[in-house]
């Protein structure tokens, strides 16, 4: 995907198109991380392309993109085997959303895409990290469940939407890497959404593995 990167991946999920590039492990620049510690660092950068949304976004990162960068870092960190990285090294992850369809779903796709790019770069990981998002809507007679997985922008910004969820799981290890809940949601709904999201992560994990196994290292270089 990205010739200059050490590893890269592209993913489409519905309308969402995400691109991830991984550089490193490489010497950590003096500016990155706390200079006193010699432990390796993971640096995540999440950005919507200016043309990703119906309304134009700026080139500089806004607060939602900064928050998404942090979510991405928090989701990927548990999977990275830091002890396998050399001291004073850095791994840079750059995720660009080329077309978005709801911020939460975009972040979830970014997590999946970034973990595949990390694997492509030859970074040691405990497992692939698979992201999933959900929106909570008040239940109505015609919809038995009020949790929508990977909602579109219409669903996640609907006025009656009471909350949203971003979850990242490591399906092979059956562990949750990251969990982010917004809004006022009942415990029952949260429990239900976790079950649904874990199932979704597991099936997406199978799909991701099948794609990678099918293409081999089909990624072109240079």
Residues near other proteins, by CB under 8 A: 6-7, 24-27, 79, 81, 84-89, 119-122, 124-128, 170-174, 176, 184, 186-188, 190-191, 194-195, 198, 202-203, 205-206, 209-210, 212-213, 216-217, 220-222
Please state the closest distance from residue 145 (CB atom) to other proteins, in A: 16
Please state the closest distance from residue 214 (CB atom) to other proteins, in A: 8
Please state the closest distance from residue 17 (CB atom) to other proteins, in A: 22
Instruction: Count Cα atoms within 13 angstroms, Cβ side, for 85.
Output: 27
Query: What is the rounded CA–CA span in Å between residue 141 and residue 147?
Result: 14
What Cα–Cα distance (Å) separates residue 200 from each residue in 25, 91, 124, 205?
31, 28, 24, 8
Query: What is the rounded CA–CA span in Å between residue 11 and residue 140?
Result: 33
Please state the closest distance from residue 109 (CB atom) to other proteins, in A: 18
Instruction: Answer whether 130's CB lies under 8 Å from 169's CB.
Output: yes
Query: What is the rounded CA–CA span in Å between residue 124 and residue 140?
Result: 46
**Closest C-alpha to 127, from 201, 189, 187:** 201
The residue (of 54 and 214) whose beta carbon lies closer to other proteins is: 214
The residue (of 26 and 66) whose beta carbon lies closer to other proteins is: 26
Contacts of 131 (CB under 8 A, 6+ apart): 75, 107, 108, 109, 110, 111, 112, 166, 167, 168, 201
Structure tokens at 41: 């660092």
The residue (of 73 and 117) whose beta carbon lies closer to other proteins is: 117
Please state the closest distance from residue 14 (CB atom) to other proteins, in A: 22
Please state the closest distance from residue 143 (CB atom) to other proteins, in A: 22
User: Residue 12, Cβ neighbours under 10 Å: how many?
Assistant: 12
Helix ranges restricted to H, the chain: 63-76, 103-120, 153-156, 187-215
């Amino acid at each position: 995907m990205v010739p200059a990167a050490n590893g890269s991946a592209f993913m489409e999920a519905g309308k969402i198109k995400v691109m991830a590039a991984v550089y490193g492990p490489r010497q950590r620049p003096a500016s990155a991380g706390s200079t006193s510690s010699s432990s390796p660092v993971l640096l995540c950068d999440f950005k919507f392309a200016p043309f990703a949304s119906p309304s134009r976004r700026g080139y500089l990162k806004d607060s939602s993109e900064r928050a998404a960068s942090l979510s991405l870092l928090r989701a990927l960190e548990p999977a990275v085997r830091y002890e396998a990285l050399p001291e004073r090294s850095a791994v840079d992850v750059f995720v660009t959303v080329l077309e978005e369809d709801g911020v939460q779903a975009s972040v979830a796709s970014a997590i999946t895409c970034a973990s595949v790019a990390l694997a492509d770069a030859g970074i040691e990981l405990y497992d692939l990290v698979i992201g999933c998002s959900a929106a909570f809507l008040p239940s109505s007679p015609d919809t038995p469940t009020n949790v929508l997985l990977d909602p579109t922008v219409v669903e996640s910004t609907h006025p009656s939407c009471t909350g949203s969820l971003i979850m990242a799981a490591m399906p092979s290890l059956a562990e949750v890497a990251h969990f982010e809940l917004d809004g006022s949601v009942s415990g029952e709904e949260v429990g239900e959404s976790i079950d649904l999201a874990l199932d979704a992560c597991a099936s997406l994990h199978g799909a991701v593995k099948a794609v990678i196994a099918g293409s081999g290292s089909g990624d072109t270089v240079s």
